[in-house]
Amino acid sequence: MAANPKGAIARMSYAEIARCMDWVLHADQEVWKAPMWVWSALTQRLYEIALYENHVLAEHRKDTLERLATVKALVEERYKDEPEVVMRYREANRSMGEEFGRLGVGSLAWQVQELGISGDDDLLRFISRPENAPLLQDYLSTLGPELAGQFRAAMARQTQAKND
């Protein structure tokens, strides 16, 4: 195993996760007794692939969500006699889901990466599109106050130039 097993899980591709899980689900139940950090790292990686990662096929996203549900059920069953562990696990899952609107699939931040938009002018044109208005505040919140302020000012100048 890698020197940093958590890091190894964090770098796994969809295909690697699928192979690993297919093996685990058909292996002796002793495998299911892996330490909590393994399940947590696997859960986090599944969330990333399903909800945040760019350039993932729709069917892989769907399959990853199903695998995520399976892992959650396994963890709940495996740690049913340790309610504090289950509570921490659920809280970590909740926090992963909370960022979805700002950073996940379909968000402006995700679209910028998915479409490969680079350069301030192209980015400004993209985020200023009327269809992106409902997503704009969440996107600007990802930039930090100073950069968000610069983009707001540039958008105001752009709007003013169109109106002149």
Q: DSSP string spanning 74-126?
A: HHHHHTTT-HHHHHHHHHHHHHHHHTHHHHSTTSHHHHHHHHT--SHHHHHHH
Q: Which domain holds residue 81?
A: 5-98
Question: Sign of the C-alpha dihedral, residues 111, 113, 116, 121?
Answer: positive
Quick one: which of 20, 22, 25 has its CA closest to 5?
20
Task: Evaluate whether residue 90 is within a structural domain.
Answer: yes
Could you identify the residue written with the tokens 């402006």?
A: 108
Q: What percent of the chain has pLDDT over 70?
A: 95
CA distances in angstroms from 80 to 26, 46, 89, 113, listed in the order given: 21, 22, 12, 39
151 — phi, psi (to 5°)?
A: -70, -40
Question: Sign of the C-alpha dihedral, residues 87, 93, 95, 98?
Answer: negative
The CA-based dihedral angle spanning residues 111, 114, 119, 122, taken in that order and rounded to the nearest 10 degrees: -50
pLDDT single digits (tens) 136-164: 999 999 888 998 898 889 888 887 777 77
- Give pLDDT, residue 16: 94
Q: What is the mean pLDDT of residues 39-60?
A: 94
115 and 150 part of one domain:
yes
Give me the number of domains the chain comprises.
2
Where does a domain end: 55, 71, 98?
98
73 and 140 part of one domain:
no
34 and 15 part of one domain:
yes
10 and 84 part of one domain:
yes
CA 23, distance to chain mean position in Å, is 24
Answer yes or no: is pLDDT of 1 > 60.
Answer: no
32 and 77 part of one domain:
yes
Task: Evaluate whether residue 103 is within a structural domain.
Answer: no
Average pLDDT, the chain: 88
> Would you call 54 helix, strand, or coil by DSSP?
coil
66 and 144 part of one domain:
no
